[in-house]
């Protein structure tokens, strides 16, 4: 597959309200978007660091994947997202190389991106997201 850059790093937090001041007041980054992604049961807050974003994820439902992650492992880095040119092709390539897919077909993510996750069992424990900006 053809990865151009790290699109974002997803970080699970208990509370955006508590987390955002650290990113703004200590690290000096500006939160430019807060968005709820209902089907993923999260509220997200975004910061830009060069061309890479930081995506803070607050659970809106303890049964959602972020709710369960925090319950099991606490707050912290949740996933790494790579920008790819052809997400369908990238998924097919990963599957053909015996990587387990969470999403067999891409779906809508935050910020209008088309996204799909690779299973951490196949990626040495790093939940990996592929993203394509189809609006470009
Ligand atoms: Zn993400």
Q: Is the pLDDT of residue 107 over 90?
A: yes
Question: How many residues appear in the chain?
Answer: 136
Q: HEC string of 93-109?
A: HHHHCCCCECCCCCEEC
Q: Is the pLDDT of residue 136 over 90?
A: no
Contact 61, 67 (CB under 8 A): yes
Ligand 1 centre to CA of 44 (Å) is 9
Ligand 1 centre to CA of 12 (Å) is 10
Ligand 1 centre to CA of 9 (Å) is 7
pLDDT in tens, 13-65: 999 999 999 999 999 999 999 999 988 899 999 999 999 999 999 999 999 99
Ligand 1 centre to CA of 17 (Å) is 19
Look at residue 130 in the predicted model and tell me its pLDDT: 98
Ligand 1 centre to CA of 81 (Å) is 6
Residues with Cβ < 8 Å from 15, sequence gap 6 or more?
58
């Amino acid at each position: 597959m053809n990865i151009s850059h790290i699109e974002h790093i997803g970080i699970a937090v208990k509370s955006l309200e508590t987390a955002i001041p650290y990113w703004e007041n200590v690290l000096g980054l500006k939160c430019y978007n807060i968005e709820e992604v209902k089907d993923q049961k999260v509220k997200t807050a975004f910061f830009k660091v060069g061309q890479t974003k930081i995506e803070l994820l607050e659970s809106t439902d303890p049964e959602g994947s972020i709710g369960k992650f925090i319950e099991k492992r606490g707050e912290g880095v949740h996933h790494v997202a790579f920008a790819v040119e052809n997400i369908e092709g990238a998924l097919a390539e990963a599957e053909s190389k015996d990587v387990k897919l969470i999403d067999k077909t891409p779906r809508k993510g935050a910020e209008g991106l088309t996204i799909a996750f690779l299973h951490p069992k196949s990626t040495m424990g790093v939940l990996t997201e592929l993203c394509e900006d189809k609006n470009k």
